[in-house]
Each structure stands twice: as structure tokens, then as C-alpha cells.
Structure 1
């Protein structure tokens, strides 16, 4: 149902509701890429938690993780 076929995938749920996160990668359903620091993951978790407590179904990540700026 959620297409969890990657080796490591993280999805967010709050009170039996799926919380989508806009990472700038085009896939808002899950996090399936490498996070380079602990602080990045903590920032994402805080953003998801604050948005879920407000009842928002789609939150925007604090950093853009799209690959267009990686060289």
C-alpha cells in the first residue's frame, strides 16, 4: 500500500494519519535518502511533530533536499 521497497525508508504517522513532508524531491510520502547529520534529522522530526499537532497533513521540511544543487 505504501510502496516500502527501499532498504531504508522512514514514514511519519500521527494518530493513525499519514503525515506527508515536502522535501523538494518530488516524493512527499516518505524519506528514502541519506541524512548527513543528526541535527538534520532532529529538525525534520521537530517540523513533523509541530505540524501534526496542528492537524496539518502536509508539512514543509526546514531544508530543501532536492538534488539539483548537488555538484
Structure 2
């Protein structure tokens, strides 16, 4: 389903979508199109595109692309999928009960959960807020555990 979403593989593409997306929430999904959890998330995002198109732009960023590593490092993308939100080129943060408010880690279980999250970000952004509270109940927020490779 990722083929329905704009895929970004170059730093310049990421730069321009951030600066050119005006008065809409920009959702950047960092991950791999070969990862099963990314594919599940992409399916939810693809099914949501039409409903949220008036106030949201969605793009997927291929984390294996050498040219976007500056963003992978900057947003500390350790787990995939991870989503970063922007509004008028401002990085939007969300308090979802984890220590990291800079990104959403994991997939949404339902399309409506994604829609609720981006609506909350949009409403907060329209009021000038840079951080919003997650509208989902804790049991519907993905929990992730730290996995250490090569330990």
C-alpha cells in the first residue's frame, strides 16, 4: 500500500515537503517498505488519505536511503516505523505517555486512531501549540521495548 503514498529518498525532497506544506499537518513515516509493521502502518495511512486530505499530507521516508540519514539521526529514528509531525515547518510534538514526545513509534491498530491523532495535532497547531496530548486511551498507544542488537 505504500505505493499510494509519496516516498522520499533524498534530503532535498524531505526539506522541500517540510517547507512547502502550509496550513496542513505533515506526517513523515520513517521506515522500510519491506518491514511488516511498516506495511501495516502504510495500509492504515493509505486508507486514511482521502478522509484527512483537507488538513494532512502524508509521506514515507526510506530510512535506508543514504541521503536522508541526517533526518534519521536528527530525529533519533531507532525504531521503525516512526512518524514525525510538522505544521507550517514547525516540528509538532505529542505527549503520549512515553519519555519521547518528538515522534510516534509503532503502527496504529485502527484507521480512526490515526485520524484522531492527526486531528489533535491539527487543532493544537491551529491554536499555536507545539505540543499536544495524545487523544488515544493508553491501551491503544503502541508500547515498544528497547532492543539491543549484538549484545
Range of TM-score over shorter length: 0.7 to 0.9
Secondary structure, aligned partner of 1:11: strand
Secondary structure, aligned partner of 2:106: coil
Q: Which runs of 4+ in 1 moved over 4 A?
A: none
How many residues end up aligned between the 2 structures?
67
Query: CA separation in 2, counterparts of 1:66 and 1:11?
Result: 15
The RMSD of aligned alpha carbons is 1.6
Deviation at 1:8, TM superposition (A): 1.5
**Is the strand fraction higher in 1 or 2?**
2
Paired residues of 2:108 and 2:142 also in contact (CA < 8 A): no
Query: CA separation in 2, counterparts of 1:56 and 1:7?
Result: 26
Which one of 69, 77, 83 corresponds to residue 4 of structure 1? 77
Q: Which one has the largest radius of gyration? A: 2
> TM-score by structure 1 length?
0.82
Deviation at 1:66, TM superposition (A): 6.9
Unaligned runs of 5+ in 2: 1-73, 144-151
Higher RCO, Cα 8 Å, sep 6+: 1
Unaligned runs of 5+ in 1: none
> TM-score by structure 2 length?
0.41
Paired residues of 2:85 and 2:93 also in contact (CA < 8 A): yes
